[in-house]
Amino acid sequence: MKRALLFLAVFVVIASATYALVIIPNFSAFKTLYSNNDGMRDGYEYIESTYSLKALTEFIGNHPEYMSVVSFNVNDPDSGIFYQADVPRTLGTLSNFFLILEYERQVEEGTLNPNERISDFNQIERFSLPDISEESHKKSVEILGVADDNPITLDNLVSVMVETNDLAISDYLWFKLGEQNIRALMDSLNLESTNTPLPFSGLYLSIHPDVSDTSTFISEADVITLAEQMFRDDQFVSDTKELFDDVRLNLSFIEERDALEHFPHTTAREMSSLMARLYQSDLLSPEISQRVKEKMGWVFEGEAIKRSFSNYGALYDNRMGILSGIDFGTRIYDGQASAQAVFFDKLPVAFWLHLSANHMQEDYQQRLIWDPALYETTIDQISN
Residue-wise pLDDT tens digits, 170-216: 999 999 999 999 999 999 999 999 999 999 999 999 999 999 999 99
Q: Is the pLDDT of residue 326 over 50?
A: yes
Tell me what pLDDT residue 6 has: 47
3-state secondary structure the chain: CHHHHHHHHHHHHHHHHHHHHHCCCCHHHHHHHHCCHHHHHCCHHHCCCCCCHHHHHHHHHHCHHHEEEEEEECCCCCCEEEECCCCCEECHHHHHHHHHHHHHHHHHHCCCCCCCECCCCHHHHCCCCCCCCHHHHHHHHHHHCHHHCCCCEHHHHHHHHHHHCCHHHHHHHHHHHCHHHHHHHHHHCCCCCCCCCCCHHHHHHHCCCCCCCCCCCCCHHHHHHHHHHHHHCHHHHHHHHHHHHHHCCCCCHHHHHHHHHHCCEECHHHHHHHHHHHHCCCCCCHHHHHHHHHHHHHHCCCHHHHHHEEEEEEEEEEECCEEEEEEEEEECCCCCEEEEEEEECCCCHHHHHHHHHCCHHHHHHHHHHHCHHHHHHHHHHHHC
What band does 277 get if pLDDT is binned at 50, 70 and 90?
Answer: very high
Tell me what pLDDT residue 304 has: 84
Q: Is the pLDDT of residue 359 over 80?
A: yes
- pTM of the model as a whole: 0.91
What does the pLDDT look like over 61-70, one tens digit per residue? 999 999 999 9
